[in-house]
Amino acid sequence: MSIVLAGLSDLQIACYIDDVIIASHNFQGHLQRLELVFQRLTAANLKVKPSKCSFLQFEISFLGHTVREGQVLPDPKNLDSIKNTMPPQTKKQVRSFLCLTGFYRKFIPNNTKKAIPLTNLIKETSKFSWSEKEQLAFDSLKNCLISEPCLSLPDFSKPFALCSDASKFSLGAVLIQEDDTGFQHPVAFASRKLGPTEIKCSVCEKEALGILFAIALFKNYLYGSECFVYCDQQSLSRIKTLKDPSSRISRCFLTLQEYSYKIIHKPGRLNHMADYLSRARYPSEDSVSITDIHEVHALNSNCTEFNLSSFPIEELIAKQKSDSYCNNIKSKLVSNFQFSPKSPKFFIKNNLLLCYREKTGRHDSKAKLVVPQSLVQNVLQLCHDNNSVAHSGLSRTLKRVKVNYFWHGLYHTVKQYIVPCHSCIQRRGFAKTSKAPVQRIPSTDFPFQTCAFDAVGPFVTSAFGNKFIIVISDYFTRYAEAYPVPNIQSSTVARVLLDFISRHGIMETVYSDRGSNFLSEAMMEVYQRLGFSKRHTLSFNPQGNGLLERLNKTLIDTLSHLVSETQEDWCQHLPLALMAFRNAYHRTVEETPAFLLYGRDPVMPYDLIFSDPIRTYSDKPSYAQQLENRLQSTYILVKNNLEKSADEIQKHQKPFPKSKQICVGNLVYLHTPKIKLHTSKKLAKQNQGPFRVVKQNSL
C-alpha cells in the first residue's frame, strides 16, 4: 500500500500495511483527497470493502488509538478487555502484560518506575513469585489505562514548557502546552531511574541531570524555539551567574548550549506533575535504569493544503467587501481621492476592485486583482508551493505574483513567506566564489542558434527504467528540454538530439563537457552530418558550461520538492519541473523562456483565481502579424539584455590576483585529479608532466 500511495504523505494521507487514513481541514479538501486515493487504488487494480470503511468521521480508531481533533487516547475497545484482566500466572503472561502497557506507555505517568517490580520478575535469574508488591504494580498500571488518560496533540505554533524534577532514585519530566484559557495540557510524560553513580550525586546535580534528560528527550519539539523549564532547584535558575559550578553541572549545560531555554524556579509543592513522576512511592526501588521515549506527532504538522479551482467572482467580491484595505480604496475612489503618482491606478469593474500601473512593462497595463488579506495565503501557495511552480526563488515568485495580483506590502509578504519555507530551507545552498575571471560566450541573435546539452544523474531507477536526464537549453531564450533516459551512451544522446532537432531545428553551435559519450567517433559523425559546430569545455571545468550547470541545479532543486520519499517517481514529475522553469521570469533575458519562444504566456494554475486577457484577435492573419511584430521587438530587447547582463557580471566581478602568463616554450605540468583503479588517492600523483607549450589557444 505504501507503494500505491507513494508521494501523498504531504497531503495528510497515511497508510500502515492495508489501513489508510485521510485527514483534511474541510469537506471540499477531503473529497479531493478521497478522489486521489481512489484513482491510485483503481490504477493498482485494488478494491475496498464499503463495510470496512468509514467516511467523513470526526473521531476514528486507528492502530489501537482513538484520534479526534487535538487529542489522542487509547482505544476503548482495548481497555474493556483490560478491566477484567486477572493477575498473570507465569513469566510469559507478565511479559505479555508489560508489552501491552509499553505500547500505551506515553499515556502512563512514570510508567518505568511503576513497572519495576514486574520487570524484575521476568529476569532469567529471578524465580516467579507473585507477592503484594507485584500485585500493587499490576493494579497501578491497569488503573492508569482504564482511567482513559488523554494527551493533547502538540501545536507547533505555540511555545512549549517543561516541568522537570529529580528525587533520590529517579528523574521525571512532563512536556506541556497552555491553551487559550491558560490550562496546561500534558503532551508527553517521561521518566527514568538514576544509575548507581548518579544516585551518589548532590541534589543540585540531580536536578541538572533532570533538565538535561528532559530537554534531550523532547528535542524534536524544542529545537529551534525558546521554551521555559520549571524546576524546584532555585540555584539552577541562576546557572549563568554561578561561580565555579561543579564539573558535572558544567557539562550538562554545555551540552544544552544549542537549545534556547530559560530555567524558572517552581517549588515542588507547585510543580505537581514532574514532582509526582520522580517522588511517587512504589513497592521497589531497584537500580535498573529503563528510559522511555514518548513522541506524539500531529497528522497536520507540516502540510499545506491547495485548492486549484478558481474562485467565483461573487466570492471575490464578498471577500473584498470584508477587507478593510479594499473598502478604504473603494471609498477613496467614490470621493475622487487623488492617489500618489507612484501608487497603482485603481478602478472598479463589475463590482470587483482592480488596478494597473502606467509603466512600459509587458504586464504593467494588465488588470490585476486587488487581493483581500484573507486570500493572500491562497495566492502565495499557488504561486510558490504548487507543483507547477515547485518552490521558485524570491525574484521569480514576485514576478509571477505581480502578473495577476496586487495587495499592500506585496514584496515583504512574499519574502516573509519564502524565507522560512521548510522545503526551500532543506535545499538552500551557499554561493561559491569563483577563482578565475569570467569568460564571455559569443552572443546569439535568434532562438536555437547556440545550444548546450549535458547529462544529469544517476537518480533512483524510475518505474519506467530511467536513471539519467539529458538536458538541452537554448542560449538565446533560455528555453530548456529534458529527456529521462535509462543510460547516457552515445546512441541514446544521438536519439535525444534528433528528437530535439525535429521540433526546434538544427543549431549552428552546440556546447557540452568533455564526456566520452559526447566526444565519441559516432557523435562526431552525427555533428558533422547535421552540420553544426561542436564546442566543449576544458577538462574538470564544469563552470565553462555555466548555463547548463545552473539549469541542472534548478531542475534538481525543483524535483526535490516534488518527489516522494522513495524518489522513484522523479520521472513523472520532470514535466512539472520543466513547466515551472519555462514559465518563470529569467533575470538575464528579463522575460520567461516560454514567452520568448511562443510569443504568448501559457495559462498556469496560479492564473485560475483571476486572469484578465491582454489581447484579443479577430482572425488568424491578425494574430500572426501581431505575433511577428511582438517577437521582433522582443528579440531586440533580449539581445540587448544579454549584452547588458554580461557587461554587468564583468563589471561587478571581484578583482583576482593576476594569473601566471604561460608562453610558448614554457615547461608546464598538467593537473589531472583522476587516479588509476585500485590505487590510493592519498598516494596518487595528480600532476603529470612536464610538457612543453607549443601553441597558445586562449588567454
pLDDT digits (tens, 9 = 90+) for 435-480: 555 555 666 777 888 888 888 888 888 878 888 988 888 888 888 8
In a domain, 686, yes or no: yes
Per-residue pLDDT band for 283 (boundaries 50, 70, 90) equals very low
Q: Do 111 and 23 share a structural domain?
A: no
Question: How many independent structural domains does the chain possess?
Answer: 6
Specify the pTM. 0.41
Q: Do 609 and 484 share a structural domain?
A: yes
The β-bridge partners of 178 are: 184
Question: Can you give the pLDDT at residue 433?
Answer: 46
In a domain, 605, yes or no: yes
Taking the C-alpha atoms of residue 117 and residue 457, their distance in angstroms, rounded to an integer, is 57
Cα 652–653–659 angle (5° rounding)?
A: 155
The β-bridge partners of 406 are: 370
Question: Can you give the pLDDT at residue 222?
Answer: 79
Q: Do 562 and 464 share a structural domain?
A: yes
Question: Can you give the pLDDT at residue 680?
Answer: 46
Tell me which of 263 and 326 has the higher pLDDT.
Answer: 326
Q: Evaluate whether 383 touches 606 at the Cβ level (below 8 Å).
A: yes
**How much of the chain, in percent, has pLDDT values that exceed 90?**
0
- Cα dist from 613 to 138, 346, 366, 586, 607, whole Å: 74, 18, 8, 22, 11
Which residues have C-beta within 8 Å of that of residue 494, sequence separation ≥ 6? 522, 523, 526
Residue 181 exposure: Cα atoms within 13 Å on the Cβ side:
3
Instruction: Express each pLDDT in 184-236 by its tens digit.
Output: 777 777 777 788 888 888 888 888 888 888 888 888 777 767 788 888 777 77
In a domain, 436, yes or no: no
Tell me which of 186 and 19 has the higher pLDDT.
Answer: 19
Tell me which of 683 and 96 has the higher pLDDT.
Answer: 96
Least confident of 121-130, 266-275, 509-518: 266-275
CATH for 226: 3.30.420.10
Q: Do 244 and 215 share a structural domain?
A: yes
Q: Do 571 and 679 share a structural domain?
A: no
Domain holding 125, by residue range, is: 68-148
Q: Do 137 and 110 share a structural domain?
A: yes
Q: Do 173 and 241 share a structural domain?
A: yes
Q: Do 129 and 72 share a structural domain?
A: yes
Q: For residue 27, is pLDDT > 50?
A: yes
Q: Do 193 and 274 share a structural domain?
A: yes
**Backbone angle region of 242, left / alpha / beta, with phi > 0 → left and psi within -120 to 50 → alpha:** beta
Which residues have C-beta within 8 Å of that of residue 532, sequence separation ≥ 6? 506, 507, 508, 509, 510
In a domain, 293, yes or no: no
Cα 580–584–586 angle (5° rounding)?
A: 135
Q: For residue 112, is pLDDT > 80?
A: no
Taking the C-alpha atoms of residue 82 and residue 627, their distance in angstroms, rounded to an integer, is 77
Dihedrals phi, psi of 284, to nearest 5 degrees = -135, 145
- CB 687: neighbour CB atoms within 10 A? 11
Strand, helix or coil for residue 687: strand
Instruction: Express each pLDDT in 494-531 by its tens digit.
Output: 888 888 888 888 888 888 888 878 888 888 888 888 88
Per-residue pLDDT band for 674 (boundaries 50, 70, 90) equals low
Per-residue pLDDT band for 369 (boundaries 50, 70, 90) equals confident
In a domain, 179, yes or no: yes
Instruction: Express each pLDDT in 385-408 by its tens digit.
Output: 877 777 788 888 888 888 888 888
Q: Is 502 exposed, middle or buried (0-12, 13-18, 19+ CB in 10 A)?
A: exposed
Domain boundary among 113, 148, 183: 148
